[in-house]
Amino acid sequence: MPLIVTWSLLLVLAAILIDAAVGYPYAIYRLIGHPVTWMGRVISWLDTLFNSPKAPDPARRLMGVLAAVLNVGIAAAAGLGLSELLRGQPWWLALPILAILASSLVAIRSLYDHVAAVRDALRKRGLVAGRQAVGQIVGRNVDSLDQAGVCRAAIESLAESLCDGVVAPLFWMGLLGLPGAAAYKAINTADSMIGHRSERYLAFGWASARLDDLANFLPARLSGYLIVLSAAAVAKASPRKALEVMHRDARKHKSPNAGWPEAAMAGALGLRLNGPKSYGEEQIDDVWLGSGRPIATPDDIHRALQVYAHAVLLLWIFTALIALLLLMATR
pLDDT in tens, 220-237: 999 999 999 999 999 999
3-state secondary structure of 74: helix
To 10 degrees, what angle do helices 57-85 and 206-231 make?
A: 60
- Report the phi/psi class of residue 285: left, alpha or beta, with left for phi > 0 and alpha for psi in -120 to 50: beta
In 3D space, the residue among 78, 83, 97, 101 whose CA is nearest the CA of residue 19 turns out to be 101
Q: Is the pLDDT of residue 209 over 90?
A: yes
Which of 141, 140, 145 shows the shortest CA–CA distance to 130?
A: 145
Chain segment 47-73, per-residue pLDDT in tens: 999 999 899 999 999 999 999 999 999
Residues in the chain: 331
Mean pLDDT of the chain: 93
Distance from C-alpha of 72 to C-alpha of 179, rounded to nearest angstrom: 10
pLDDT at 4: 60
Identity of residue 302: H
The H or E element containing residue 275 is strand 273-279
Question: What is the rounded distance in angstroms from the CA atom of residue 73 to the CA atom of residue 195?
Answer: 18
Model confidence over 245-260: pLDDT tens digits? 999 999 999 999 999 9
Count of domains in the chain?
Answer: 1
134-174 pLDDT tens trace = 999 998 888 889 999 999 999 999 999 999 999 999 999 99
Among 296, 211, 233, smallest CA distance to 262 is for 296
Helix axes 35-50, 168-194, angle to 10 degrees: 40
Q: How far apart are CA 175 and CA 84, in angstroms?
A: 17
**281 confidence band (pLDDT: 50, 70, 90):** low
What phi and psi, each to the nearest 5 degrees, are found at residue 143? -65, -30
DSSP, collapsed to helix, strand or coil, labels residue 125 as: coil
For range 12-31, the mean pLDDT: 90
Distance CA 22, CA 14 (A): 12
Band of pLDDT at residue 32, cut at 50, 70 and 90:
confident
Question: For residues 209 and 195, is the Cβ–Cβ distance under 8 A?
Answer: yes
List the domain range (segments joined by +) for residue 20. Answer: 2-329
Rounded Cα distance between 271 and 291, Å, is 7
